[in-house]
Amino acid sequence: MLTARNLECIRGEHKLFSNIFFSVNPGELMFVGGPNGSGKTSLLRLLCGLSSPDSGEILWNGMDIRDLDGDYRGMMTYLGHLGGIKDDLTALENLRISCALADCEIDENQAADALGQIGLAGREMLPAKVLSQGQRRRVALARLLVVQTRLWILDEPLTALDTAAVKLIKEILEHNLSKGGMVIMTTHQEIVMTAAAVHHLTLS
């Protein structure tokens, strides 16, 4: 279970949000919404442990994630809205490196299989700079097919994806939820998900 208690985030002299409370249990999904600049990405970065709240605490199974350190990161996968794709690397190289950085090393065959499943068969060896925005997004999202983590924190995962790709990502997310995984995500696209429970957190 991931629990947030009384979270507050301040950037400069501006308070993005405060008094944020929620819990996400196995099999549950939480959508984070709100206008641009409301702090959605900042909240996700707090939940990943990439930055610290100005007040409040984030607990994983009752323990502060700052105390868990690497143990918590090993249970969580974060995909930012930029995807972290390097132009001069191939799709296959990008996927293998992103997995290695997340302590989930895969070989070329595993990477090629994941890219094929996500609709990039035949493009594995192309440099990312020649791929479309939607294809680059698929490269980043292919990591979800190989990770063994339970908690997925995703910042606008559906950006630049066509209808077929959105359907595929929906199936991948629902498969994780059906196994007791947890998903926290932002999205500007309407998507109906099957989960044990669906929560909505709106930042203003």
d(C-alpha 110, C-alpha 87), whole Å? 21
pLDDT of the residue at 190 = 84
pLDDT of the residue at 148 = 87
Positions in the chain short of pLDDT 70: none
* Burial degree of 69 (CB within 10 A; 0-12, 13-18, 19+): exposed
pLDDT of the residue at 16 = 93
Measured CA distances, 155 to 12, 67, 97, 125, 152 (Å)? 22, 24, 20, 26, 10
Q: Which residues lie below 8 Å from residue 12, measured CB to CB, with a gap of 6+?
A: none
Q: Hey, what amino acid is at 176?
A: N
d(C-alpha 92, C-alpha 134), whole Å? 16
Please give the domain boundaries of the chain with CATH numbers for all domains. 1-75+150-204 (3.40.50.300), 85-148 (no CATH)
Q: Are 193 and 175 in contact (CB under 8 A)?
A: no
Query: What are residue 144's phi and psi, to 5 degrees?
Result: -65, -20
Measured CA distances, 203 to 34, 196, 198 (Å)? 5, 23, 17
pLDDT of the residue at 155 = 96
Write the pLDDT tens digit of every residue in 67-90. Answer: 987 788 888 999 988 778 999 999
pLDDT of the residue at 135 = 95
Please tell me whether residue 32 adopts helix, strand or coil conformation: strand
Write the pLDDT tens digit of every residue in 173-202. Answer: 999 999 999 999 999 888 889 888 999 999
d(C-alpha 154, C-alpha 80), whole Å? 6
